[in-house]
Structure 1
């Protein structure tokens, strides 16, 4: 089951923890009626890889889910952080999404049509994408945010080298964590490789509002629109565009584009609200001087706002970020 590999990828590097257990994973194999074979030692020495860590009960990577009232993050309705084996997290997070995916009805002619707020296939594939394709060299949690009009899946790790967003849109796929994908396929959690985003798009076929796929240098986001929001958009009459008379206006200042560690800080700030410099030191594993320099750069670029002085300085994400 947990097979060795000679690749130098993150999955196959030596795990920082060696006291691993696989109780949750074995339970999933038992549910599927599959034989479970834990790692075996060679010459009396057993060394676990990062892949083993990802699927173990001691997996340090988590998924944070939040449900908000409205279309912004002003008020929480529910939140939960999921831990443990990634295979078990997949089942637990999907159950959470199902709980917050109410079935809504429409009358069509003489018949009532029941439809969930979000296509189940799209939720499943977006969640799978966030787990299998994320970059686990970054310790930050994956984020799933549910609003009244959409659900967002945010994971760390931009596009793989040599792959563009246009390639992704055309159906090309390069798997960052192949052993993890193989395991999910073995557990019948994945039907086939490289078809997840195509399945998401297919789930919204015929809808005016389509899923959004966004990529930054160090993060990836999939946005699924609420079905009723899509229905309202489709039924809204289209007004004829009227071209206004040209009028002089100042040239807007171009919006700063976050890169690298800035994306990580933005995701952290959007989740936690205000934060201090030491939060960024811990998040990125950098020195106080490096964290200060990064935050000053982000402040100058308009990505973060600062208030207070000396030890009372706090930061928050700019509304324009």
Structure 2
């Protein structure tokens, strides 16, 4: 029964070739057919359809039964270990095609017998087949077995290469010998404790001595072509500690803006700094890269690149055999490094198995960002998150998805940040005001003055309330610094002007203050 091949109005098959689907016109090019079958078995499985041309037109096979036998014999005679896909005959538009359903093999690596294990193994990359390198071939074998690379004892290391205090600080508890064994960070060999690869990656002060590529390369590139390198950092050391260091690098190059009204309902004008990049989603991508990269063979480091209009996280190893991009975005989780993943989980760096990319997609959508672009390259996986143009001359923040809160909205207003000054036309809904263009921002008032104006534009407030909202104590020196200049400028006024020390005294905005609040003068250029 055909449940996947659909014809369009033009008579062509609708589905395009991809990681798990390949079309062949006939069996005349048997080498290409066999490479595809091997690549499917070593990757995520797939369907080989014979009788469909490259343009997806259905040509069929002339003698279906003979073609079926020939395909079965080719696979049986030419591929090792033995592989037994199911072969079906399907009718499309009055023509018969062959469909070989190739599962993910349990005895990887599969290879062409004549070329041998290290010359005839292929993997699927998009809609093409790539010959596996010797190291990747060995990695396929490890992945098919029960003893993954991270669980294997490292023959070059000794127990003294693990620093227990590093692990204890990470997990926030004492770690003894039995727990090291339970976590598979050490193993017994000839009666001695020896570190596993996972143990070295998470608890060795310098794991790069054993895995030269197990580090993170960070870069900030400017310009439309992304070639102007303005900052870089090499993050080395135990992998779990790399997460905060990578995020610190990215935060050096973000913009900040202040929102007022996103806090406690009673103090609905308190300031909250909002990052110009989706930090929660990016952090999850960095964690995923550290946990799921392949450390079993040399190559490039994990890369985190901050461009003007995108942040790219690229990890070596590509997808784990058996999964596709579509599957991982829907929560399918196959762990390349289960022992490493467990430590990240117990350290609180991973919340729920299989939720990583789903969480990223959700967080990006909530923040007003596009879904990430996920590309499987040769022995690498690249995730690209599109961000607002971070050229300061063109920056406009993303518009978050509106989520109802205590006041029926976020109650936020944008302002310049003390860390970086940005130009923004960010729109934020509030119960009684709306900021929807650059003309609604106040430019040359400092943030505390802006916060006071916004606060008293909502309701009259006492001195203690205003200073508390600024995070200050109710002292005269603080009032002189933050409130008196606004009084003297005529932007705010007392509600009891003839009795400055009245217990009923409040501050309110004046017409001049309201005009200044809504004036484009002084806005960031």
Instruction: Mark the runs of 5 or more structure 2 residues left unpaired by the alignment.
Output: 1-144, 181-185, 209-213, 262-267, 389-395, 400-423, 428-525
> How far 1:101 moved relative to its partner?
2.7
Counterpart selection for 2:205 from 48, 54, 57? 57
What is the CA–CA distance in structure 2 between the aligned matches of 1:31 and 1:46, rounded to whole Å?
Answer: 21
Change (3 A) 1:149 1:10: same
**Residue 46 of structure 1 aligns to a residue in which SS?**
strand
**Residue 365 of structure 2 aligns to a residue in which SS?**
coil
State the partner residue of 1:22: 162
State the partner residue of 1:225: 386
Q: Is the 8 A contact 1:209 1:230 kept in 2?
A: no
What is the CA–CA distance in structure 1 between the aligned matches of 2:151 and 2:293, rounded to whole Å?
Answer: 15
**Residue 224 of structure 1 aligns to a residue in which SS?**
strand
* Structure 1 runs (4+) greater than 4 angstroms displaced: 38-44, 105-108, 110-114, 229-235
Find out whether 1:176 has 2:336 as its counterpart.
yes
> How far 1:229 moved relative to its partner?
6.3
> How far 1:138 moved relative to its partner?
2.8
What is the CA–CA distance in structure 1 between the aligned matches of 2:343 and 2:369, rounded to whole Å?
Answer: 36
Counterpart selection for 1:209 from 356, 370, 379? 370
> How far 1:120 moved relative to its partner?
1.9
Structure showing greater Rg: 2
State the partner residue of 2:231: 78
What is the CA–CA distance in structure 1 between the aligned matches of 2:246 and 2:233, rounded to whole Å?
Answer: 9
Q: Is the 8 A contact 1:208 1:234 kept in 2?
A: no
Within 5 A, what are the aligned runs for 1:194-205? 194-205=354-365
Change (3 A) 1:178 1:32: closer
Alignment size in residue pairs: 228
Counterpart selection for 1:134 from 283, 287, 293? 293
Q: Which structure ranks higher in relative contact order (CA pairs < 8 Å, sequence separation ≥ 6)? A: 1
What is the CA–CA distance in structure 2 between the aligned matches of 1:92 and 1:208, rounded to whole Å?
Answer: 24
TM-score of the two chains, using structure 2 as the length reference: 0.39
Counterpart selection for 1:153 from 306, 313, 316? 313
State the partner residue of 1:103: 256
TM-score of the two chains, using structure 1 as the length reference: 0.62
Instruction: Mark the runs of 5 or more structure 1 residues left unpaired by the alignment.
Output: 1-5, 236-321
State the partner residue of 2:284: 125
> How far 1:7 moved relative to its partner?
3.5
Change (3 A) 1:184 1:210: same
Change (3 A) 1:113 1:94: closer
State the partner residue of 1:284: none
What is the CA–CA distance in structure 1 between the aligned matches of 2:206 and 2:227, rounded to whole Å?
Answer: 33
Q: Is the 8 A contact 1:138 1:156 kept in 2?
A: no
> How far 1:152 moved relative to its partner?
0.3
> How far 1:148 moved relative to its partner?
1.1
